[in-house]
Amino acid sequence: MKNKMFSQKGFSLIEVLIVLLIFTVIALAILRAYVSVVHVAGDSSAGAKSDSGVMFGLATADKILQGIGFGANSSVTSSYGTTLAAYDSSGTQVTVGTAGSSLVWKSDTSTCQALIISNKDNPVSTSSTATTHTGSGLFYYGAGYSCSSLALPASTTTETPTILVPVSDTNLAMASLKVITVTNCNPYSVSNSLNNGGAYAVVLTANVYAGSGTTQNQVNNQTCLFNFR
């Protein structure tokens, strides 16, 4: 019985190089896709972390604003510019409905409190060497500082403000605030049949990623100033 002879033929060098080239292209495409996914996931994670900090700060500011004016203004009719006012970045008082960067209110006849949007570590510093950042944070002067009439805290103010939203070099965070007029507003979920609600509300505007990962969008948080009528 004759043995069958089988022809054994290997791959040529050119064929091997072509196969290697194909696998290299596929591997590079997979690697690029992987790097892109990791990058997007990292951006989304950073954006979510940043958003959580901003939203927590807005929620805290909302709680603060709901209670301002209690007691100090309960027996008087509060008017904008007398017991409450917003200011721009230059310290000039702005009109109702105009965006600014600071909010000041009277807590009693000789004491003021404030919310300030600033890109400085020390919002009231006038030094040219003060550390500044790309993004602005939100600061609360809640201990109160001396004032005979409405005024922003001076550079000599010794109070260390509470940081509600930290300043950042990568996140724009806080954008603006403004006071608007409303009719008989009440705190959320509160029913008031006496028609003696607040005459003003504060709108805080912040920049958040909101799931987009790399692009920030603005969100507004409106708080009724029930004690300012």
* CA atoms of 181 and 70, how far apart (whole Å): 19
Q: How much is the mean pLDDT over the chain? A: 80
pLDDT digits (tens, 9 = 90+) for 2-37: 555 555 566 677 777 787 778 777 877 777 766 655
pLDDT digits (tens, 9 = 90+) for 68-118: 887 664 444 567 898 899 999 999 999 999 999 999 999 888 899 999 999
Is the alpha carbon torsion for 76, 78, 79, 82 positive or negative? Answer: positive
Selected residue with higher pLDDT from 67 and 215: 67
Asked if 209 and 178 touch (Cβ cutoff 8 Å), the reply is no
